[in-house]
């Protein structure tokens, strides 16, 4: 069983939530990084000021001819609380050291630098206390060797502040993220309101309400194409439903006549005793009705196959002129009896199913002969040009009114319904012609006027 994909609401909330989380994380990182850089600059400024104090004190004692007057240095550093200082000479002898943690281990692991910058600071931990410092090399005057000064200041206050700040920032970020997700959920729910309204409206449409249409002008831009597509689908369904309704009614009407005739004739035959010839005549009459129903049922089955794509025509070469000449021979007696002339012009060979194309041409010729007045002409034209086969069947006589032209290929359609019981067929012939032509990938059209009706067929060569 296929797994149902996540809902649109969940997708939107998830995507926006991920994007928001990334934005908040970047924002938090920028803030935290800015504060850390700020504290590093402050510590660097403090250590730089302390280093300058130490350097000035050492330079002052050297000018007075005193070799590193350490008591004077101690007086210069008095009042600098939280500062750790360790001064050694080139041999590693400790010349000065402030009370508190010993910086020897720190000085052994940190490279010396000529100046204090935020990037040159290094963290250091002694027990539970944290420090940050640097190791400087101070040149001296005269023959005295350079001094190594190790400076460090406590970071505990900064770290406690940052810990509280991280906690507050994390809680604020989580709260903002929760509020954002809630707002996104509400926004998505409200944004889907038009879609829910469309769904509710569609749910109310039944078979007796296929005339209802959605109004794209009242919908958001994203749903306009959906509404238009749905309206187009409704139009097609309504048209098919209407055709099916008419088709069912027409079938019932067409079958009712022969069944009624059969019942009437049978009742008459059973009403009194008759001889064999009379019974034979009644049976022949019944046979005609049966043949009529069998023809109608066969035509309807043929159309049903074409509607469902079950009829696959062959693609062999078909000599259309040869087929038409044979149809002229078959229909010639009928046409002669009606005083109708049959004329063929042109030659053409088309790929297709010979029997199906022959049936389509036979239906067109029969329809043309039937509607041609005495002394008229049925003319068939064949032509091949630009990769297409063109077939035209035209007849003189009464024309088809313009308002009926779009419906001549509909099933059971007759221009004059009163003529349906006088051997005019069931009204399926032209519908079958259209289905055969379309099954071959072609198209058929009709025009009528000025005493001439012409059917045109276009097939691929």
For the chain, which domains are there?
Answer: 8-170 (3.30.450), 216-306 (1.10.287.130), 312-460 (3.30.565.10)
Long-range contacts of the stretch 188-197 (C-beta < 8 A, 24+): 188/8, 188/9, 188/12, 188/13, 189/9, 192/8, 192/9, 194/219, 194/220, 194/223, 195/223
Q: Which residue has the higher pLDDT, 239 or 419?
A: 239
CA distance 280 to 306: 39
Highest averaged pLDDT of the listed ranges 49-58, 112-121, 180-189, 243-252 = 180-189
Looking at residue 360, its pLDDT comes to 92
Handedness of CA 243, 246, 249, 254 (dihedral sign): negative
Looking at residue 67, its pLDDT comes to 47
pTM score of the predicted model? 0.52
Residue 408 burial class via C-beta count within 10 angstroms: exposed 0-12, middle 13-18, buried 19 and up: buried
Count the Cβ atoms, other than its own, within 10 Å of residue 204: 8
**Percent of the chain at pLDDT exceeding 70:** 90
Q: Which residue has the higher pLDDT, 406 or 243?
A: 406
Count the Cβ atoms, other than its own, within 10 Å of residue 460: 12
Question: What DSSP assignment string belongs to 418-457?
Answer: GGTTTT---S-HHHHHHHHHHHTT-EEEEEEETTEEEEEE
Q: pLDDT tens digits, residue range 314-354?
A: 888 999 999 999 999 999 999 999 999 999 999 999 999 99
Segment 54-83 mean pLDDT? 62
Q: What is the mean pLDDT of the chain?
A: 84
Pairing, β 129-138 against β 316-319: unpaired
Looking at residue 60, its pLDDT comes to 61
Segment 108-118 mean pLDDT? 85
Name the one residue in this structure whose structure tokens are 């049925």.
378
Contact in structure between 424 and 257 (CB atoms under 8 Å): no
Looking at residue 171, its pLDDT comes to 93
Give the contacts of 100 (CB within 8 A, at least 6 positions apart): 84
Looking at residue 412, its pLDDT comes to 76
What Å distances lie between residue 419 and 84, 207, 249, 293, 414, CA to CA? 121, 33, 18, 17, 8
Residue 428 burial class via C-beta count within 10 angstroms: exposed 0-12, middle 13-18, buried 19 and up: buried
Looking at residue 392, its pLDDT comes to 95
Q: pLDDT tens digits, residue range 346-377?
A: 999 999 999 999 999 999 999 999 999 999 99
Q: Which residue has the higher pLDDT, 351 or 94?
A: 351
Is the model's pLDDT at 124 over the cut of 60? yes
**Percent of the chain at pLDDT exceeding 90:** 26
CA distance 454 to 446: 6
Query: 3-state class of 242 per DSSP?
Result: helix
Q: pLDDT tens digits, residue range 180-220?
A: 999 988 888 888 888 888 888 888 888 777 888 888 888 88
DSSP state of 410: S
Looking at residue 283, its pLDDT comes to 87
Dig out the tokens for 352 from the structure. Answer: 């297709």
Task: Give CA 131 to chain center in angstroms.
Answer: 60
């Amino acid at each position: 069983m296929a797994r149902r994909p996540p809902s649109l609401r969940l997708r939107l909330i998830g995507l926006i939530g991920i994007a928001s989380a990334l934005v908040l994380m970047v924002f938090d990182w920028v803030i935290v990084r800015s504060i850390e850089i700020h504290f590093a600059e402050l510590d660097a400024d403090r250590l730089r000021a302390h280093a300058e104090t130490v350097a000035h004190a050492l330079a002052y004692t050297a000018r007075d001819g005193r070799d590193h007057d350490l008591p004077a240095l101690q007086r210069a550093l008095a009042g600098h609380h939280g500062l750790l200082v360790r001064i050694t000479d080139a041999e590693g002898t400790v010349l000065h050291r402030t009370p508190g943690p010993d910086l020897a281990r720190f000085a052994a692991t940190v490279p010396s630098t000529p100046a204090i910058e935020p990037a040159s600071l290094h963290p250091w931990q002694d027990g539970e206390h944290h420090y940050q410092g640097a190791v400087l090399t101070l040149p001296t005057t005269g023959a005295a060797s350079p001094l190594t000064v190790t400076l460090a200041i406590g970071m505990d206050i900064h770290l406690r502040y940052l810990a509280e700040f991280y906690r507050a920032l994390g809680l604020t970020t989580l709260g903002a993220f929760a509020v954002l997700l809630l707002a996104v959920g509400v926004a998505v729910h409200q944004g889907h309101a038009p879609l829910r309204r469309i769904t509710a409206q569609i749910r109310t449409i039944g078979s007796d309400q296929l005339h209802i249409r959605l109004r794209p002008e009242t919908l958001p831009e994203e749903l306009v194409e959906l509404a238009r597509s749905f309206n187009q689908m409704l139009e097609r369904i309504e048209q098919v439903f209407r055709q099916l309704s008419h088709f069912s009614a027409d079938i019932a009407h067409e079958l009712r006549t022969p069944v009624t005739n059969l019942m009437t004739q049978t009742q008459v035959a059973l009403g009194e005793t008759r001889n064999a010839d009379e019974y034979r005549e009644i049976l022949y009459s019944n046979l005609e009705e049966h043949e009529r129903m069998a023809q109608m049922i066969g035509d309807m089955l043929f159309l049903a196959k074409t509607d469902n794509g079950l009829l696959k025509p062959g693609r062999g070469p078909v000599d259309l002129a040869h087929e038409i000449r044979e149809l002229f021979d078959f229909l010639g007696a009928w046409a002669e009896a009606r005083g109708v002339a049959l004329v063929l012009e042109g030659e053409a060979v088309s790929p297709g199913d010979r029997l199906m194309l022959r049936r389509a041409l036979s239906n067109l010729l029969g329809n043309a002969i039937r509607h041609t007045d005495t002394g008229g002409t049925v003319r068939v034209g064949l032509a091949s040009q630009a990769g297409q086969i063109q077939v035209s069947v035209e007849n003189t006589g009464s024309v088809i009114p313009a308002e009926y032209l779009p419906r001549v290929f509909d099933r059971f359609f007759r221009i004059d319904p009163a003529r349906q019981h006088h051997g005019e067929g069931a009204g399926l012939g032209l519908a079958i012609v259209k289905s055969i032509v379309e099954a071959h990938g072609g198209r058929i059209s009709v025009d009528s006027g000025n005493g001439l009706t012409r059917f045109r067929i276009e097939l691929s060569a």
